[in-house]
């Protein structure tokens, strides 16, 4: 039996970041959280930015905790994070500005200008990605339109996880899975869509090479290794750096009958396919094709997941009332069902000043009772999200032309047992929840594959299954949910 080996995983989300040590003993994975820290966009003179320098400081703090707790060499380091956002570097590798948040309003009216030059259908056929204003393509196009000086000075474009990988090892490259969220890559070939960018007047000389998951990029910078008190300079590996791709890779039991939901601030709901689906129907139904860790395509729909409820929690805290997730769940269970429903995808909820006010305004505008308590708001958010899952399920089945019998939920949202049960009720499907730390496990599993300790992703998935405990939820009270779904559809 091989001795155990330790990996370090940096996992950056839109609401928090974590640094984990993952131990592989030849049969199972064990996770140890070294450091957790909050993340939130910062409003600077009317624009939303990410404070990546503070995040970098937190990442270094988390890495430094490893040598304080373990007397063992690190076998590898990998970074995964959210998609679409990016940073620009100059020739010397210096950051040209704090990256914008995808929730910044600078791209709100940009779609018409893009489609005036290249029709939406053509963009979708080329990239396989749904044309959301948050995507990198629209963000850069807005920079072109506004003559942003960063474009003149930029030497390298890096997606968010690639920026942190660069700071770790000095290699400038964009990893395939996160690059596929940009709407700037060809869907049928791992290369930038240069012809599309040229037609839109977007420079391409700052776009680096594309790497695949499992690529060894280089050793950790020696100065960082010394600062972290590491023994030697462990390799920095390109994992599936889009957190959704890492999450899906870590879900045990995925097969052709399974739907995945990567559940957190966003919910990414979809299926794995061998080839992209770029039909007009897929475009009209709001689906994207993103790259998976193992070479598959993730045909998915991007849904604002727990974001509305997270914002409600923030507003309650500003008003002097702090709630835990468990406390809100108990209040929601006591609240009346199907009293208020919202469309999670409505523009009202993208970046409101006050989510509580936005939800009440939406309910008033749609002739519904307005939530009047924390339990009522929570139940509104969770029921509405579950019903949205039902709608996406039906759309997926129409695209893949088969019944999808099992919903597999992973990520932080699978801890919300009420959401899991409501999802089972709304979809009338069994729900299997877990793993919670899916993106971290996918990150570490890819590292173990890259250095030869696991043969492939299939073997890695089996190892994860033996390392965790899953929870199951069966549908209940489906008649009431069917009636609620018909009401929900009218809101859309």
Torsion of CA 117, 119, 120, 126, to 10 degrees: -90
Q: Report helix, strand or coil for 148.
A: coil
Q: Count of CB atoms within 10 A of residue 428's CB?
A: 15
Listed in sequence order, the residues at least 6 apart from 299 whose beta carbon sits closer than 8 Å to its beta carbon are: 270, 271, 272, 273, 276, 277, 282, 287, 288, 289, 396, 399, 400
Annotated catalytic residue 345: no
Burial of 136 (0-12, 13-18, 19+ CB in 10 A): buried
Q: Residues with Cβ < 8 Å from 345, sequence gap 6 or more?
A: 303, 304, 388
Q: Token digits for 474?
A: 């069966």
Alpha carbon of residue 478 to chain centroid: 30
Tokens 């489906």 -> residue = 478
Tell how strand 297-304 and strand 266-273 pair up: antiparallel
Strand ranges for 326-482 from DSSP E: 406-410, 430-433, 471-473
Annotated catalytic residue within 80, 85, 104, 243: 243
Q: Catalytic residue positions?
A: 243
């Amino acid at each position: 039996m091989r001795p155990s080996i330790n990996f370090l995983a940096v996992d950056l989300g839109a609401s928090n970041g974590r640094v984990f040590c993952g131990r592989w003993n030849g049969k199972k994975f064990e996770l140890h959280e070294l450091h957790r820290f909050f993340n939130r966009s910062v409003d600077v003179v009317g624009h939303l930015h990410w404070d990546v320098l503070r995040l970098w400081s937190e990442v270094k703090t988390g890495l430094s905790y490893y040598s304080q707790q373990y007397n063992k060499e690190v076998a590898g380091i990998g970074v995964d994070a959210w998609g679409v956002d990016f940073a620009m570097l100059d020739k010397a590798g210096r950051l040209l500005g704090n990256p914008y948040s995808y929730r910044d309003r600078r791209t709100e009216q940009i779609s018409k200008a893009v489609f005036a030059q290249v029709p939406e259908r053509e963009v979708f056929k080329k990239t396989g990605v749904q044309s959301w204003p948050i995507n990198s393509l629209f963000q850069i196009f807005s920079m072109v339109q506004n003559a942003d000086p960063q474009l003149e000075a930029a030497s390298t474009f890096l997606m968010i996880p690639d920026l942190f990988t660069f700071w770790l090892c000095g290699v400038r490259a964009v990893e395939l899975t996160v690059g596929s969220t940009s709407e700037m890559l060809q869907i049928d070939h791992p290369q930038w869509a240069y012809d599309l960018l040229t037609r839109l007047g977007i420079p391409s000389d700052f776009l680096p090479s594309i790497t695949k998951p499992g690529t060894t990029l280089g050793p950790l910078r020696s100065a960082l290794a010394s600062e972290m008190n590491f023994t030697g300079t462990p390799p920095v590996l390109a994992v599936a750096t889009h957190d959704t791709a890492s999450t899906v890779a870590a879900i045990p039991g995925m097969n052709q009958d399974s739907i995945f939901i990567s559940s957190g601030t966003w919910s990414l709901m979809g299926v794995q396919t061998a080839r992209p689906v770029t039909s007009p129907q897929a475009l009209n139904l709001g689906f994207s094709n993103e790259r998976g860790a193992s070479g598959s395509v993730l045909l998915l729909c991007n849904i604002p997941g727990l974001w509305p409820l997270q914002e409600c929690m923030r507003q309650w805290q500003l008003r002097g009332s702090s709630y835990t997730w468990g406390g809100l769940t108990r209040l929601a269970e006591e609240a009346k069902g199907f009293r208020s429903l919202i469309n999670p995808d409505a523009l009202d909820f993208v970046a409101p000043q006050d989510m509580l006010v936005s939800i009440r305004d939406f309910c008033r505008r749609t002739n519904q009772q307005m939530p009047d308590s924390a339990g009522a708001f929570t139940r509104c958010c969770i029921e509405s999200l579950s019903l949205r899952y039902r709608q996406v399920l039906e759309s997926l089945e129409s695209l893949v032309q088969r019944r999808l019998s099992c919903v597999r939920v992973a990520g932080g949202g699978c801890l919300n047992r009420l959401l899991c049960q409501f999802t089972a009720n709304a979809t009338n499907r069994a729900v299997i929840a877990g793993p919670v730390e899916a993106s971290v496990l996918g990150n570490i599993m890819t590292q173990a594959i890259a250095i030869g300790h696991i043969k492939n992703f299939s073997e890695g998935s089996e190892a994860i299954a033996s390392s965790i405990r899953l929870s199951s939820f069966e549908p209940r009270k489906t008649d009431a949910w069917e009636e609620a779904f018909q009401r929900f559809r009218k809101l859309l």
